[in-house]
Structure formats: C-alpha cells, structure tokens
Structure 1
Amino acid sequence: MIAAALLALLAPVFAAVALLVAGGLGRPVLFRQRRVGRHGELFEVIKFRSMLPPDPRRGLTGDANRLTPLGRWLRSTSLDELPSLWNVLRGDMSLVGPRPLLPEYLSRYSPTQARRHEVRPGITGLAQVRGRNGLSWEEKFDLDVEYVDRRSLLMDLSILGATVRTVLRRDGISAPGVATAPEFLGTPAGTAPTDAPEVTLSTNPSGTVTAQQGRRQ
C-alpha cells in the first residue's frame, strides 16, 4: 500500500528524472538486472540508469569511467532507486531489508552470510543507515543478519527515518577508492569460503528461477 501510494505521489518526480536520464545518458532510461530475493528466488530489479553503456573504443570499461556527473548525483540522492518501488509493489522486495545482490555472489557466502536471504530484500536496510558503501562486505553482511534476527515494525520505522537523514547527508555513497562498491569475492577476499553453500539454479513448472543452496563436500 505504501509503495502504491509513493508511486502515485512521486509520478512527477519519476517523469522529471526519466527526462534527465534520457537527455543525459540516452536510452534505455531504466536499468534492469537479475538479483537474488527471499529464499534465493531470482527477480529483475528496476532502477533509473546511472551509467553509460560499456564501450571499449571510448574507454568506457569500468564503473569509474561509465559513471557520469548526472549518474553520481542520482546515486547520491538515491533517486536512481525510485523505480524499485515497483519491485515492492510486486512483492519481490520490501521497503526495508538487506539489499538485493547479484546471483554470482551466492556461492561466495558463508552459511551465516546466506541467512540474509531469509527475508525479502529491501530498498533500504540496516547496513545502508550504518555506513552504506563505506562498510566492508563483511560488515554489511553482519548487519544484514542482525536485521534478520531483530526485525520488527519499530525497527523498520527507525531505519526508514534514518534513511532520510543518510540521503540528506549523502553518507557512504561509494566505497573508498572505487566509484561504487567493489565486487564481493568471498571471505577472505579473493576466495570463496570453504563452508560456503554450493548453489545451483533451477526453474520450476511456473517458470520461476530459484537458487538452491547445498553444502560443499
């Protein structure tokens, strides 16, 4: 209900940002990418595009080269996240929860870190108001699991309030030394944990793709 109300209320903002993206970055205006949701189910997250498409001939290969001043502003104000309200309306995401990450990371989590998928991912979360991309991956995942264990309506309201302050202060927009955030390579960095779950993707009769986790032998 909140997502539906926000989608209607913010329609003029959506239109204005879409025009800015179309004029500054070209089409498509929206960025779509598969992410991991609750219980390992994959879905397509929707955001406003903040980067130019890869083009080696123009030197547009890394995030730092592809992220434009407009893209940095969209990320710093979190306006690029507004279309994800559609994911909340669909039930793929919640307003509050661990951030949805790439399917490639599934096999790199430890069993404890993988508990972040016990709840729906969120547009904002505990890690986002405690340091955002200024935190290490391990710190983010510790906060994600803390949220899973302690979640409540009061905690969600507190996180939503803290999110407004974080966005206004523009804290933790990017990790030190990188344009956005480094790739998660496992714990310790560069290797997959030996106790990480082994992950396989499967499609059920309805066509939904899910990620199934099992112990490594």
Structure 2
Amino acid sequence: MLKRGFDLFVSVTGLLFLLPFILLLAFLIRTKLGSPVLFKQQRPGLHGKPFYVYKFRTMTNEKDENGTLLPDHLRLTSFGKFLRKLSLDELPQLVNVLRGDLSLVGPRPLLMDYLSRYTPEQARRHLVKPGITGWAQVNGRNAIKWEEKFELDVWYVDHQSFWLDIKILFLTVKKVFKSEGINQTGHVTMPVFMGLEEKGRNAPL
C-alpha cells in the first residue's frame, strides 16, 4: 500500500507539474519527428499480464525504396538521441504508473516475445510490477548483458523495500544526468534477447 500510494503521489504530482513541459515536448516531437507523437507497444506486466506502455517517439518513419522501415540507427535523429539521453521519452509512462500498469521502480517491462525465452529463474522478474526504472537500470542499464540484467532484476524481487526504491530513484537521477549506460556497444539500445538456445545473437531492438 505504501508503494502504490507513493506511485500515485509522484505520478499525479509529476503529470500536473510537468504538463506544460510535456505538451512542449509533444509539439517539438510532432514538428521534428512526425506523428504519432507517442510510441505504444504491448508489454508484459505483473505475472506477465499484457498492457500497453507509452513513450515519446524518438525515431522517424523513414523507409527505403521498397517501403520497409530503415534500421533503427538510421531513423534515430540527434533530437531523438537527446530525448533518450535525458530519458525524456519515458515521461508518458507516468500515465502507466497512474493507471497501475507500472510502478516507479521495478524490473523494466520488455517484449512479449521474451516471455517464452526466460529460464524459470529469470521469469521471476515478473513476480513484481514492472517499473520505469529499476535496480538493473542503476547498475548498468543497457551497457550490461541480458543475463546480468536479469540477475539484478531477480535480486530486486528478493530484496524490494520502500527505502530501496527511494535509493534507486535517487541513483536514477544521477545516472540520467551522467548519461550512463544508454546504449550497448554497436546498438541503439540492446540486442534482442534470444534465450539460451540462441544466446549471443545480435539483432537490434
């Protein structure tokens, strides 16, 4: 109840306080990157239950001569990189927190396709509500390997507390200002997680 109450307080306060800035960002994104302004994708929540996560878009819709979207690194503009660098693209997720899909702190919600690729131990990351930030995000973010990320997520599941959440939030602010761990070498964010059978493959998200 304390965690949910804190989530509600921060999400409501944040949305009200940041509304003018959020509207300005939406206008700039529409002008520089096109529409839709929001990126919407289904992700697994608590116990793997699907929900739609919202983010500001950071890439254009540029396509090749065959009508196929260009690779992510070619569609990610300098403005999009700026949004990601300061995690401004995550601001719409305060709505997800308000709705109860996300918590402020918890394992990051990944792709639905990954659910069948986890080991039983890795799947324990879904025993708590996913979050905007988490223990893995303040201990490497996208610069660490998937296996390390999942180990950190499961550690959080086993050690979660209100004060640990507060610590993670403060560390998140520090990481954002230092712009640490945004990308993994050679990728816009992280390579696709293929599970144990195809471990090591490098396809961009």
TM-score of the pair, normalised by structure 2: 0.90
Runs of 4+ residues over 2 Å off in structure 1 = 56-61, 187-191
C-alpha displacement at 1:60, in angstroms?
4.2
Structure 1 distance, partners of 2:44, 2:24, is: 29
> Can you list the C-alpha shifts for 1:10-49, whole angstroms capped at 9, x where unaligned?
1111011111101110111001000000011000000000
Aligned partner (choices 139, 155, 171) of residue 146 of structure 1: 155
1:37 aligns with 2:45: yes
Higher strand share: 1
Q: Count the aligned residue pairs.
A: 191
Higher helix share: 2
Structure 2 distance, partners of 1:104, 1:59, is: 22
C-alpha displacement at 1:59, in angstroms?
7.5
- Structure 2 gaps of 5+ residues are 1-8, 201-205
> Can you list the C-alpha shifts for 1:180-210, whole angstroms capped at 9, x where unaligned?
111011125449xxxxxxxxxxxxxxxxxxx
Structure 1 distance, partners of 2:62, 2:115, is: 25
- Structure 1 gaps of 5+ residues are 192-217
> SS state of the match for residue 150, structure 2?
helix
Aligned to 2:128: 119
> SS state of the match for residue 34, structure 1?
strand
Structure 2 distance, partners of 1:102, 1:59, is: 21
* C-alpha contact (below 8 Å) 1:59/1:65 kept by paired residues: no
> Can you list the C-alpha shifts for 1:124-180, whole angstroms capped at 9, x where unaligned?
000100010001000100000000000000100000000000000000111111111
Structure 2 distance, partners of 1:59, 1:35, is: 24
* C-alpha contact (below 8 Å) 1:99/1:121 kept by paired residues: yes
C-alpha displacement at 1:85, in angstroms?
0.3
Which amino acid in the other structure matches residue 22 of structure 1?
Answer: R
The equivalences for 1:1-217 within 5 A come to 1-53=9-61, 55-57=63-65, 60-187=69-196, 189-190=198-199
> Can you list the C-alpha shifts for 1:80-119, whole angstroms capped at 9, x where unaligned?
0000000000000000000001100011000000000001
